[in-house]
Structure 1
Amino acid sequence: MASEHVLIGAAAKIPVGPSSPITVYTPLIIPSPGRPVELQLRVTAPVTGDALPIVLLSHGHGPSNWLSSLNGYAPLAEFYAKHGFVVIQPTHLSSTTLGLQGIPGDEMYWQSRSEDMTRILDQLDHIESTVPGLKGRVDRSKVAGVGHSFGGFTMSLLLGATNTDPRDGTVSRPFEQRIQAGVLFGNTGNGGADLSEDGRKIVPFYGLDFSTMHTPTLTIGGEDDVSPYLTVRGADWHWDSYTHGPGFKDLLRVKGGHHGFGGICGWDAKGTEDESPEMLSMVQRMSLAYMKSQLYEGDKSWEQACKALSGLEALGSIESKPLVE
């Protein structure tokens, strides 16, 4: 494909369907009474096609001045849109682009982030009507949620995980049943004793528990993604959503992967420690295949992708857990 990077290497062996032209509409403003600023979105969608599924994409809380907002994650948003998804990205209140300070109980605006995603789903009429050429082309019954890093924490809550604030025992579980599948890149892991001393200071509200997260989820973890500023554990902390989540769960272990997964946050992004067109292409293809097979009964994309990856051990490996009643 002319649009593929010449350096994607062995990842080209993971099957993916043909791509199509896309369009981007931004900023799309969502009325947001009571929110410090209006909710702004970027919508990336195929130019053609009907009954298009939706991806809600939650950005992380990284060091970039721009990418932790609707301005980031083009490598994921554009790829998913080229292959048939309508991708909707908000700028959460925690974004550096806004310069806002969290409030007690909602530090880093962790609670408002999940509220943003629910608001998006509630406002799909407005979104479809605003984006030129999109009205009537979206299948609202097929929604996947994707999150990276702190965006993974946000999406974990929407997929059914529970957060218990260790300071006062307040329990939060903003489960969103309209999201049928999740993909979590470099997700945050268990709270409690697994947090480092610095971690307890950085995220004082954090007490995540995956035992209630039943939604089918693919966790993507870098084997070299070690975060001592947050946890006393190693890279495996980032795939607790797989280890401790019930129901159908899959884990993609990325060989040589740090927290950037080859560059998912942006093209040639400074904060990416593991810049690699090959790694990026692999996680793009695997996550796309997972979402397609979860949203469409009988779709074989995930099965085919896993079969291809099984012969590419230098890129990564898959572990799976079946549903246990």
Structure 2
Amino acid sequence: MSPHETSSQVISVRPVTLPVPARGLDLQVRVTAPIAGTGLPVIVFAHGFGQSMLAADPLVDHWTANGFVVVQPTFLDSVALGLTPADPRYPTIWRTRIDDLVQVIDELETIITAVPGLPGRVDTDRLAVAGHSWGGQSVGMLLGARVLDADGQPGEDRTDSRVKAGVLLSTTGIARGDLVPFAQENFAFMSPDFTQLDTPSIVVAGDHDQSALSTRGPDWFTDVYHLSPGARHLVTLHGGEHTLGGIQDYSSTATTDESPERVELVRRTTTAFLKTALGIDEAAWSDMAATPPEPVGHIDSK
């Protein structure tokens, strides 16, 4: 897949470094923004396992071309940082991811100031979070999801009222005894509860996404839509696997279902949803949804 050509110029700065002494490593983020425009809304994007602030250019390019500022932290699980399971921080990386997201939101003004020409042009009250795979679970916590403890009780509430909308891409579902033994032993945090996820969100899933961590089929990735009050729309990609056609990079060798058409549907639906959910264009979602996306996928709403 080739980069999507646009006439909109953007500026991208990396790394912007936020000191976090207790983390062992400072938090680094990338910021990408349109050169022109004011009142720009913000998307904080959480990458999947092992990736970094450099992930998801096919989405970032489209979002910034449509007037969004995209902020991308690199989490401790990134292969770029080299942490191993022997590191004492490893078992709690899932919590550190959420802490990192909150710190990014806390320090948005500092981050914006680091980008030449951007201060004074951003509306931080129009704030959304988006995440792919593990990143979907991470941002889901800010939207109202919680992790069940060993007794099946919802754990800490990390809902962040500053976040006005969410985008959940290939986000893992509830455990319900369906995790494979390896996941049960190593990923106890993969036991989400979605009943308090109230923040307006859109869910995107592939109907051929078979996870090695669950005994269930691709419907596992639709749980957050069916079980949360905040998830308004579900975009299902026909033939889509975990990378949803290749959202993580251009021409990535990790993409098993490369499809520019699927990526374009993810771009269009998420952008339209965010424009409407953040009060930028009330008609954006209805206008987009008026044209059925078959044969690439279909949309369910509630």
Length-normalised TM-score, structure 1: 0.87
Q: Distance in 2 between matches of 1:297 and 1:26?
A: 27
Equivalent in the alignment of 2:288 = 305
Between the two structures, name the one with larger relative contact order (CA 8 Å, sep ≥ 6).
1
Equivalent in the alignment of 1:260 = 243
In structure 1, runs of 5+ residues without a counterpart are 6-17, 63-67
The alpha carbon displacement at 1:19 in A equals 5.3
Equivalent in the alignment of 2:215 = 232
Q: Distance in 2 between matches of 1:149 and 1:231?
A: 13
Q: Secondary structure at the match of 2:21?
A: coil
Q: Distance in 2 between matches of 1:165 and 1:138?
A: 39
Q: Distance in 2 between matches of 1:255 and 1:190?
A: 22
**Residue among 10, 20, 23 paired with 1:35:** 23
After the TM superposition, which of the residue ranges 171-180 and 52-61 deviates more from structure 2? 171-180
Evaluate the alpha carbon distance shift between residue 170 and residue 253 of structure 1 in structure 2; reply closer, same or farther with a 3 A threshold: closer
**Residue among 184, 188, 203 paired with 1:200:** 184
CA contact (8 A) 1:166 1:206 kept: no
Evaluate the alpha carbon distance shift between residue 135 and residue 22 of structure 1 in structure 2; reply closer, same or farther with a 3 A threshold: same
Q: Secondary structure at the match of 1:152?
A: helix
**Residue among 100, 108, 121 paired with 1:124:** 108
Equivalent in the alignment of 1:318 = 299
Q: Distance in 2 between matches of 1:185 and 1:108?
A: 22
Q: Secondary structure at the match of 1:193?
A: coil
Q: Distance in 1 between matches of 2:194 and 2:90?
A: 20
The reply on whether 1:191 has 2:175 as its aligned counterpart is yes
Length-normalised TM-score, structure 2: 0.93
Evaluate the alpha carbon distance shift between residue 267 and residue 4 of structure 1 in structure 2; reply closer, same or farther with a 3 A threshold: closer
Equivalent in the alignment of 2:40 = 52
The alpha carbon displacement at 1:170 in A equals 7.6
Equivalent in the alignment of 1:156 = 140
CA contact (8 A) 2:4 2:58 kept: no
Evaluate the alpha carbon distance shift between residue 298 and residue 87 of structure 1 in structure 2; reply closer, same or farther with a 3 A threshold: closer
**Residue among 74, 83, 86 paired with 2:69:** 86
Equivalent in the alignment of 1:11 = none
After the TM superposition, which of the residue ranges 44-53 and 98-107 deviates more from structure 2? 98-107
Q: Secondary structure at the match of 1:43?
A: strand
In the alignment, residue 91 of structure 2 is paired with which amino acid? E
Percent pairwise identity: 37
The alpha carbon displacement at 1:172 in A equals 2.5
The reply on whether 1:210 has 2:198 as its aligned counterpart is no
The alpha carbon displacement at 1:165 in A equals 3.1
In the alignment, residue 9 of structure 2 is paired with which amino acid? P
The alpha carbon displacement at 1:201 in A equals 2.5
The alpha carbon displacement at 1:96 in A equals 1.0
Q: CA RMSD in A?
A: 2.1
In the alignment, residue 20 of structure 1 is paired with which amino acid? S
The alpha carbon displacement at 1:77 in A equals 1.1
Give the total of aligned pairs.
Answer: 300
In the alignment, residue 148 of structure 2 is paired with which amino acid? T
